[in-house]
């Protein structure tokens, strides 16, 4: 059975950048609904004891399992998104990730511009990610529930650009939400940890 994980901080911890009202609706309604749907769909099947990661990878290319994939991917994406944010976050990363961002994007400012533009330009619903793909850092957008996990990439951090992630606080000003995400709440420690693990995994493979 898939569990709904709690938020890694209090619901008012990201205010004023993301309100407690937004996090309450987003986590307690949207995220919870994805988890509940996954559990209904896998009940009594050979996936009943599987992890979300296994469910996503095994069903990503199966048209007849699109509903299961969508809900499993959304459940996983949301958990990853919660951890991509932190109170008193924002700014630039440090260490090896900072060095790689400079090498692959030219500067942190160019990365931030690419991240903001990719997220703001995403037509409709979806996600914007920083990934390690083929040994190189990339900014990528995915539509709807799609996730880098389904394509062999290692996600380092993400921002949710579905309207329910920001509309109560920013209305239709998605660019402002993404700028605030990078300036004030992005969790670079989480991204740095994911980057180190992805590099170690690629060396071990």
Q: Residue 2: which of 60, 59, 48, 68 has the closest Cα?
A: 48
For residue range 97-118, what is the model confidence (pLDDT) as tens digits? 999 999 999 999 999 999 999 9
Which structure tokens are listed for 58?
Answer: 């095994």
Tell me: pLDDT of 204 over 80.
Answer: no
d(CA 32, CA 152): 26
Tell me: pLDDT of 131 over 80.
Answer: yes
Q: Residue 102: which of 90, 117, 92, 91 has the closest Cα?
A: 92
pLDDT for residue 200: 86
Percent of the chain with pLDDT strictly greater than 90: 95
Q: Residue 56: which of 68, 42, 44, 39 has the closest Cα?
A: 68
Tell me: pLDDT of 41 over 70.
Answer: yes
Mean pLDDT of 20-46: 97
d(CA 197, CA 191): 10
């Amino acid at each position: 059975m898939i569990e709904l994980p709690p938020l890694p901080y209090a619901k008012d911890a990201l205010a004023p950048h993301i309100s407690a009202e937004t996090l309450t609706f987003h986590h307690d309604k949207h995220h919870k609904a994805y988890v509940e749907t996954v559990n209904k769909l896998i009940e009594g099947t050979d996936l009943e004891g599987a992890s979300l990661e296994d469910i996503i990878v095994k069903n990503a290319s199966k048209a007849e399992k699109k509903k299961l994939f969508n809900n499993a991917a959304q459940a996983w994406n949301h958990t990853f998104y919660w951890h991509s944010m932190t109170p008193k976050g924002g700014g630039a990363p440090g260490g090896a990730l900072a060095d790689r961002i400079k090498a692959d994007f030219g500067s942190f400012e160019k990365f931030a511009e690419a991240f903001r533009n990719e997220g703001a330009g995403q037509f409709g619903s979806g996600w914007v990610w920083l990934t390690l793909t083929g040994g190189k850092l990339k900014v990528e957008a995915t539509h709807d529930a799609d996730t880098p996990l389904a394509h062999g990439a290692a996600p380092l951090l993400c921002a949710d650009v579905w309207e329910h992630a920001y509309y109560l606080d920013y209305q239709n000003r998605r660019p402002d939400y993404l700028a605030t995400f990078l300036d004030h709440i992005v969790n670079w420690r989480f991204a740095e940890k994911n980057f180190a693990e992805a590099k170690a995994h690629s060396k071990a493979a």
